[in-house]
A and B are shown apart, each in its own frame.
Chain A
Amino acid sequence: DAGVIQSPRHEVTEMGQEVTLRCKPISGHDYLFWYRQTMMRGLELLIYFNNNVPIDDSGMPEDRFSAKMPNASFSTLKIQPSEPRDSAVYFCASSPVQGGDGYTFGSGTRLTVV
């Protein structure tokens, strides 16, 4: 398995533009997580899915952020409109069983909003 695949690796966009981050989890993993990492706040969980259904989105900063998982092999995190304070590294992770066993992280998307 190629692991958790995220795209793009880097994204630079202007303030106000829409940004879409993509994630392909490991096949057979039931859970998918979106995290954000910044120097100030470290790693924060934004939202997670179980069997394609959003379970907890309490970490999503505001309505500008939305996430979808239309099928077991694909998820998106969208920011519209983007702001400079959204600049961070966004990680996707997947897990095969409840309890966090076997968490596998993707390489992340480094987002810069100018």
Chain B
Amino acid sequence: KQEVTQIPAALSVPEGENLVLNCSFTDSAIYNLQWFRQDPGKGLTSLLLIQSSQREQTSGRLNASLDKSSGRSTLYIAASQPGDSATYLCAVNEGAQKLVFGQGTRLTINP
């Protein structure tokens, strides 16, 4: 059974710092991997989607990498801002239309 783990569970950093969020999964037979953002009381917003054949994807200050063989993905946020404060969720798609989510990393950027 696929299990997705996100470390750390919570992270607090000062504004302007670069940071890395980690995601690991137990079964490397995935179709793709997505990073989502969730604000308190809100739904999920897709940030980046990496296909299994890709190594990384970039969108603005965000960069996500994927190492399928080792079962790892990272989300890099450059020059963090208070508006980046949210919970970040990693999800793997095993190709059966099921997204298996990690528990998320709650990120706080302090002004």
Contact = CB atoms under 8 A, between A and B. Distances in A.
Interface residues of B, number: 24
Choose among B34, B45, B97, B98 the residue with the greatest number of A CB atoms under 10 Å from its CB: B97
Interface stretch (A13-21, A65-73, A75-83, A99-107): A99-107
Contacts of A93: 44
- Give the interface residue-count category, chain A: 20 to 34
Contacts of B102: 42
B43 interface: yes
A66 B106 CA distance: 32
Contacts of B46: 102-104
A55 interface: yes
Contacts of A91: 43-44
A104 B46 CA distance: 7
A105 B101 contact: no
Interface of A: 4, 31, 33, 42-43, 45, 48, 50, 55-56, 91, 93, 95, 98-108, 110
Which 10 A-B residue pairings sit nearest by Cβ, starting from the closest? A100-B93, A43-B101, A105-B43, A105-B44, A107-B43, A42-B103, A45-B98, A99-B31, A108-B43, A48-B97
